Structure 1
């Protein structure tokens, strides 16, 4: 590969830290671009590596057709579902897997504790200036069992955080391996877990994996937490279950997304929703670009990026 490789990087404020990191590599030429632009300049079109922006990463997809020299797309997300169907198989596609584990696992723990300790209910009582002693039912995380569907960096980080609260985890990976179950075992694993945490990527195999049968097999009073992708859960089936009050949910992702103002999920009892923002804390963009710089450095040296996306959704 050439000694100097052109890398397109967004000029938006969240992406400035990436420019600083990439310029330290010494083997790349960093070229800024506007993710909202319709046309690229001659210099930009000569780029061999494209990095979508930290926010709204799907925006530059229409620019792919203008990048005749493109050899790699380096994402800043943990998943690749937004891009996998548009990036030709001849072009290397890599993610920032691992960068989001800390912030997202922290969100999962906060959501679980908020639901178990009834913070949504307490805030509503506070809004009413009501001293609600013994008027609500809190629960403890200690002794709970969590079924974590998705045993990557985020899922394993969730398991470590839960262990600190004396909760145990059952991990389900895309393939069975020591200490982790395979997807074919999932139906028999659901009962007996008070918590079900979705951290899996969106693939053909995981689309609507959490359907009416899955939800129906969850224990009464169980909590579903989704930080994977909204389309992993059958929304209609979830609405039916939570409206009955049988289970609860904490969702950072939904289907559809953004969730329309009139959608019934907003009004469902026992549901808390955040706007796909589990990773959004100070410093996450820097973590993403650190991983991206490692992946790009490996690619430029002729090695295979560790976060290579091998399976593409079509």
Structure 2
């Protein structure tokens, strides 16, 4: 759907993380950048005539109430890897696109660091350090070399994770929404849990992936296996995970949880063998620029009358 106007108006957040977006999009021919406040508020007349809305880099759900004020809206371009927060809020006929691909480097780096942290026992080492204890041979670290990692989600983040882990001698097994060369389909997932010392979750949240990692799957994982979730908390059955962690049979590294934010009295905080980061895997310098670079490509494609590669209809468990 080509936007048939002389100049396309794009709403970009006024917040500091989005400054780079205003700069990049401002250089795009035929585009007028309109700064806006993403907190629910009234848009002015010029803003209300915008054809494209970009939710902010942080807290992208906040401008959802503004959609009703945009009669000329033709596209919502997200800066996230998934579209789950917005999927039910965009009217029919309006293109919803993600920034899939932009997060692959930062998030796969977090995944690799989390796995190394758990296998090399850094939480235990820090406890000894805080106690002033020289703990030579008082802990059991492990190597990644020779381990097998089941990566559930073979999109940009999953494949980048596979490449990073291969450097450490890890053998990756990839699973996607449909089988292809070198990648298993979802029907193989139940039998693949066993025999992998690491399970990494990088799939988007959809009706098909909600609670994908359930009690049965967790029970089939090898003893002492590590579950890494860098996708969405709702993909994992939290109660089932807590039960496994409390026995000490499994370990986990979580960037996302269900619920989120995780309440201070939640049992996950007290489980042994788990490390938790506050949904911050992508939060390193430069990620916002990567997101806006992908967003600019998607918007350019849309303005040209073509379907953006990250349009929601094409975003799946890839």
Match of 2:104 in 1: 101
Root-mean-square deviation over aligned CA pairs: 1.1
Match of 2:209 in 1: 206
Q: 8 Å contact 1:84–1:312 — kept in the other structure?
A: no
Distance in 2 (CA, whole Å) between partners of 1:143 and 1:45 is 57
Match of 1:66 in 2: 69
Q: 8 Å contact 2:21–2:289 — kept in the other structure?
A: yes
Distance in 1 (CA, whole Å) between partners of 2:282 and 2:77 is 18
Unaligned runs of 5+ in 1: none
Aligned: 1:278 with 2:276: no
Match of 1:182 in 2: 185
Question: What's the CA shift for 1:3?
Answer: 3.0
Q: 8 Å contact 1:225–1:250 — kept in the other structure?
A: yes
Question: What's the CA shift for 1:311?
Answer: 7.0
| Secondary structure of the corresponding residue to residue 260 of structure 1 | coil
* Deviation beyond 6 Å, 4+ runs, structure 1: none
Unaligned runs of 5+ in 2: none
| 1:155-304 alignment, distance < 5 Å | 155-304=158-307
| Secondary structure of the corresponding residue to residue 150 of structure 2 | strand
Match of 2:146 in 1: 143
**Number of corresponding residues:** 313
Distance in 2 (CA, whole Å) between partners of 1:293 and 1:218 is 41
Distance in 1 (CA, whole Å) between partners of 2:30 and 2:229 is 39
Question: What's the CA shift for 1:108?
Answer: 0.2
Match of 1:123 in 2: 126
Any idea what the Cα deviations from partners look like across 1:21-40, whole Å, max 9, x if unmatched? 10111111100100014111
Any idea what the Cα deviations from partners look like across 1:57-110, whole Å, max 9, x if unmatched? 000000000000000000000000000011112100000000000000000000
| Secondary structure of the corresponding residue to residue 71 of structure 2 | coil
Aligned: 1:38 with 2:45: no
TM-score, normalised to structure 1's length? 0.98
Question: What's the CA shift for 1:231?
Answer: 0.2
